């Protein structure tokens, strides 16, 4: 499927879209991004993604010229132009344009990109058989360097290195710890464990990104009657768990069946995981429709 890109007011195919070589994210990773899913011509969790993005722009001090309602309307407009039923939106906002680290000396008009296309992180059969995961030697960034709630382009270098580790070992994902040795997250997914019917996930203080899908799944699990806890977990908790699964916008909800060649539970996707996967699939029908234009609030 061809990708459509809206960049600073211009809509074009991906192949002809151009970003300045002096874009501050290109030079220094000085930008934010969101990945957002389209299900059945509806944008899933659009408002939650935009809220996180704009929290990030305030934290980093971006001088936004586009309001949240304006960006929301523009995303829906680009989705209509793309005319797809199922897809993936990549939203980038960078500080501006100019050579030099100091933001005072660049053009601080943010560059905004909305790309609509497709992304399949894992093969379809992986959702049935589950992912094999390895432990990564790379740690997540500490909060005193950059707050992990910030979905900043520049923070993903270690995640890419960890993903390369997984690739080299033939694994589907890599599990990253924090500097204290507690479980944090996988390279692009949040981690959940199930033990005695309790759904457990790393505490946000462990250095995780508080994923939109993570928050959604926690709510859905509680609706299904499961107790959900946020804890300080170690690899001991993985190896003694009955089940495990990962969540993310690109990953959705996918079982995790082993860590470092050691089976989790019986080495198969478990009943709690499968029930949450089914409930999540229903939830994805509740997105924001884009076929009818919405008025932009004054």
Give the closest residue to 201 by CA, choosing from 225, 224, 227, 179.
227
Spatial neighbors of 241 by CB under 8 A, at least 6 apart, are 193, 194, 195, 200, 264, 265
Q: Sign (positive/negative) of CA torsion 261, 266, 269, 275?
A: negative
Separation between Cα atoms, residue 35 and residue 46, nearest integer Å: 10
The arithmetic mean of pLDDT across residues 2-25, rounded, is 93
Q: What pLDDT was estimated at residue 120?
A: 86
The pTM for the full model equals 0.94
Which pLDDT band holds residue 298 (cuts at 50, 70, 90)? low
Q: Sign (positive/negative) of CA torsion 272, 221, 130, 157?
A: negative
Strands 190-195 and 243-248: antiparallel
* CA 219 to chain CA centroid, nearest Å: 17
Separation between Cα atoms, residue 161 and residue 184, nearest integer Å: 16
> From residue 248, how far is each of 22, 24, 65, 108, 191 by CA, in Å?
31, 27, 29, 31, 9
Instruction: Give tens-digit pLDDT for 165-211.
Output: 999 999 999 999 999 999 999 999 999 999 999 999 999 999 999 99
Q: What is the DSSP letter of 278?
A: H
Structure tokens at 162: 């960890």
Gyration radius from the chain CA atoms:
19
Residue labelled with tokens 């600073």: 8
Catalytic annotation present for 151? yes
pLDDT of 97 higher than 90: yes
> From residue 78, how far is each of 49, 57, 66, 86, 113 by CA, in Å?
16, 22, 15, 14, 11
Task: List domains and CATH numbers for the chain.
Answer: 4-119 (3.30.470.10), 126-284 (3.20.10.10)
Q: What are phi and psi of 114, to 5 degrees?
A: -120, 110
Give the closest residue to 63 by CA, choosing from 108, 17, 124, 130.
108
Instruction: Give tens-digit pLDDT for 126-173.
Output: 999 999 999 999 999 888 888 888 999 999 999 999 999 999 999 999
The arithmetic mean of pLDDT across residues 252-258, rounded, is 98
Q: What are phi and psi of 117, to 5 degrees?
A: -160, -135
Separation between Cα atoms, residue 101 and residue 63, nearest integer Å: 16
Among candidate residues 3, 74, 151, 163, the one labeled active-site is 151
Q: What pLDDT was estimated at residue 3?
A: 87
The arithmetic mean of pLDDT across residues 245-268, rounded, is 97
């Amino acid at each position: 499927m061809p990708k459509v890109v809206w960049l600073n007011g211009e809509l074009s195919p991906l192949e002809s879209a151009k970003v300045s070589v002096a874009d501050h994210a290109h030079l220094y990773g000085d930008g934010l991004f969101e990945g957002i899913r389209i299900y059945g011509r509806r944008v899933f969790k659009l408002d939650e993604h935009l809220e996180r993005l704009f929290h990030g722009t305030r934290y980093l001090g971006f001088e936004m010229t586009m309001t949240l309602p304006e960006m929301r309307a523009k995303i829906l407009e680009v989705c209509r132009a793309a005319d797809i039923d199922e897809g993936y939106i990549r939203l980038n906002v960078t500080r501006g344009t100019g050579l030099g680290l100091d933001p005072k000396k660049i053009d601080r008009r943010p560059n905004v990109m909305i790309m609509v296309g497709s992304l399949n992180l894992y093969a379809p059969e992986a959702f049935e058989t589950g992912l094999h995961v390895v432990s990564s030697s790379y740690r997540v960034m500490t909060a005193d360097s950059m707050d992990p709630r910030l979905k900043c382009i520049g923070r993903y270098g270690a995640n890419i290195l960890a993903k390369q580790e997984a690739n080299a070992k033939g694994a589907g994902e890599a599990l990253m710890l924090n500097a204290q040795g507690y479980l944090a997250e996988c390279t692009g997914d949040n981690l959940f464990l199930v033990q005695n019917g309790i759904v457990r996930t790393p505490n946000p203080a462990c250095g995780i990104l508080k994923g939109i899908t993570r928050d959604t799944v926690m709510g859905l699990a509680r609706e299904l009657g499961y107790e959900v806890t946020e804890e300080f977990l170690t690899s001991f908790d993985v190896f003694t768990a009955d089940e495990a699964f990962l969540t993310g916008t690109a990953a959705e909800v996918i079982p995790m069946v082993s860590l470092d060649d050691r089976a989790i539970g019986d080495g198969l996707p478990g009943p709690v995981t499968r029930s949450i996967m089914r409930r999540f699939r229903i939830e994805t029908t509740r997105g924001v429709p884009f076929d009818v234009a919405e008025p932009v609030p004054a």
